[in-house]
Structure 1
């Protein structure tokens, strides 16, 4: 492929991402085949200084704009979407702190100091076997019990992206108090009482190692909790987080662009004996290339235009996410179908891209929830009823620790545990 085309979109916010993306792409097949945590890719992202791009300027960070974050994540998604997703969870956490400032100050500064020495990975542990996705409402069964030194966390979380490589689990839990409260507890990955149940056997995004994680009386400090608030107002607002979910979709824009590149490269290199020239010069493949470009290029326009210009229009953001996700999935399907066996062969990258793109609309809120939100908004526009009325169940704190609630801070937090990790892993 021409160098100019392959590097398009790889220079963002003054950062040349081409080298990082190349390293991710080289390491991705091995991590995918093994279903293993992508350490090499995460190290490349850390070494390039990308994991802290959303840290607030008051902490010495860049606090990049959301549009730039979407473009960076799309670039990383070209190389390895699993690395992009794991990285994005950390980047979102820093961005929420930059916007809301709800972390305990001492704890957050301690984490930033750690991030200078090695990759610091953070992610929310929220989904539960009984509850399912919090995007559909409900309170967590995971319990935070008061102890003399702070809190003891017990419960099981599902689909914890990056589980094996996280530095801290951000565990959404309900307290055992009366009245009950809900918050996000910052649990060191090396704390005793954590078990990673290796049951992530997904079709695609295998290297995200989104295993179940069990917490059994795991101790955390009294200050190591974010946005502890009353359970009666703990609600998840899917519309409020529409921007974030659209940025997440940019990962799969990267996947589709990598698939598009693989398709074009194959067409240019394939010279059947009966033709005597590359199939890229046939009308059929020119038309297919145009169809794929329409779908992928159109999805890029939808995502980036909405992120850049529709920050206060949740319906437009949700609509863009759904339309773009469907187009990206269709584009990769077109590419695989056109190539037949070569497209489905594990010897090439297109088969992996096809598997990965299936996850594009799996992330909460799922398609049915988004369509319901849009439908209610359409009716509310006629009746004058606020669109917010569509949120069901008890919601607001759930999705991410980004509400203006204060953490309970009665005692000083103990220093992070040192030494070898105490996390236990078991296979299903």
Structure 2
């Protein structure tokens, strides 16, 4: 079987980094029988992630990282997702956030240096906690109900955050809150061991169960004023290339479904046929359709990633392109998994096969930001303005 990654690995550096992702993917896949039904993130997989020094890869060499390009970041994330999409999406948030903080310089230098040093030396893991029950996705512009009230040299933070991927495995949370004193939204860097922090085991979803995206509860958490590391900019947000880790994840799930569907077709032979079903015309049609869909999705995503890397002066104009990649790739990934399910037939619904998990997981991509309606509206406005 042709490995779809071969054409995207361009040099020895890519190969060396890719092998890290392969080892993580292998461990992640081995843990799926536990992580998916129990809706947990595997300690063993996280151990391998840290052994591979994966959390520090997007840091610059000055901090001990590999200074991953966007292209390389997506290549590695897609491979991990082939093993388990939940693991890829979860750790992708950490790497993307560190990449954003490094490149966009959103924090004071000493605050970033402190976190980067711990990530590089101890492979600590961080994620933003932004989504809330009442506000939904922060991309829709809702003001957090989580509040930070100034009390001398401290802030007292109270609230609840949902969709906190790897909630019980993170070393730090970057928590958004409405800062009453400033009348604006701020972000606080909070150590996982801080008094008043707890994780409420609420995660019980159809797909991407292994992200363990439980609720983070803040009950009068007292932090230093210096832990306010970021405030929401009043300027229009700049395009964020690192968010392409989202479509890369779902493309990896689709690639895994494609691989297993082909293997199934080559080996399954009902007693009504003299050959495996791979020789049947309508099965070959479905395989061919999967192939051209994946070729298009890969080409689109990696072409845009290369443009981001090679033409930094164009990044401020790439918002619509980035959003279009997310829309196109996540929808294509769902279509590919659906074709794989049709190849497997009724067996695709069985827990004995991986297809039903791919089917559940890939649909989560349709609900990650940016949403399809927002992307279509953005593209329409751009076209009309031109």
Tell me, yes or no, whether TM beats 0.5: yes
Q: Give the distance between the partners of 1:78 and 1:289, measured in 2 at CA.
A: 18
**Deviation string, structure 1 residues 251-297 (Cα, Å, up to 9, x no partner):** 01100000001101111111222323221122222221111111122
Question: Equivalent of 2:351, from 346, 351, 362?
Answer: 346
What does residue range 26-175 of structure 1 map to in structure 2 within 5 Å?
26-115=30-119, 119-175=123-179
**1:378 Cα deviation from its structure 2 partner:** 2.2
**1:340 Cα deviation from its structure 2 partner:** 1.6
Matched, 1:194 2:203: no
Matched, 1:316 2:321: yes
Cα-Cα RMSD = 2.2
**Deviation string, structure 1 residues 185-243 (Cα, Å, up to 9, x no partner):** 001111111232222111110011112222111122222222236xxx54663xx3352
- 2:312 is matched with which residue? none
User: Are the aligned partners of 1:137 and 1:235 in contact in 2 as well (CA < 8 Å)?
Assistant: no
Please give the secondary structure, in 2, of the residue aligned with 1:139: coil
User: Are the aligned partners of 1:173 and 1:183 in contact in 2 as well (CA < 8 Å)?
Assistant: yes
**Deviation string, structure 1 residues 138-165 (Cα, Å, up to 9, x no partner):** 3222111223343221111111111111
**1:10 Cα deviation from its structure 2 partner:** 8.9
**Deviation string, structure 1 residues 283-327 (Cα, Å, up to 9, x no partner):** 222221111111122211111112212544222222222112111
**1:104 Cα deviation from its structure 2 partner:** 4.2
Question: Equivalent of 1:224, from 224, 227, 235?
Answer: 227
Matched, 1:185 2:188: yes
**1:39 Cα deviation from its structure 2 partner:** 1.9
**1:57 Cα deviation from its structure 2 partner:** 2.8
- 1:397 is matched with which residue? none
Please give the secondary structure, in 2, of the residue aligned with 1:361: helix
- 1:389 is matched with which residue? none
Aligned pair count?
373
- 1:330 is matched with which residue? 335
Q: Give the distance between the partners of 1:73 and 1:162, measured in 2 at CA.
A: 16
Stretches of 4+ moved more than 6 A in 1? none
User: Are the aligned partners of 2:96 and 2:243 in contact in 1 as well (CA < 8 Å)?
Assistant: no
Q: Give the distance between the partners of 1:358 and 1:91, measured in 2 at CA.
A: 23
User: Are the aligned partners of 1:122 and 1:167 in contact in 2 as well (CA < 8 Å)?
Assistant: yes
Q: Give the distance between the partners of 2:228 and 2:124, measured in 1 at CA.
A: 18
Please give the secondary structure, in 2, of the residue aligned with 1:140: coil
Matched, 1:206 2:209: yes
Q: Give the distance between the partners of 1:129 and 1:236, measured in 2 at CA.
A: 25
Q: Give the distance between the partners of 2:61 and 2:104, measured in 1 at CA.
A: 13
**Deviation string, structure 1 residues 15-45 (Cα, Å, up to 9, x no partner):** 2233322222111232111111222222222
**Deviation string, structure 1 residues 46-72 (Cα, Å, up to 9, x no partner):** 211211111123323221111110111
User: Are the aligned partners of 1:63 and 1:98 in contact in 2 as well (CA < 8 Å)?
Assistant: no
Higher relative contact order (CA 8 A, sep 6+): 1
Q: Which runs of 5+ in 2 are unaligned?
A: 309-314
Point out the more displaced range, 59-68 or 117-126.
117-126
Q: Which runs of 5+ in 1 are unaligned?
A: 382-428
Residues 280, 79 of structure 1: alpha-carbon distance in 2 compared, 3 angstrom cutoff = same
Please give the secondary structure, in 2, of the residue aligned with 1:171: strand
Question: Equivalent of 1:371, from 367, 370, 376?
Answer: 376
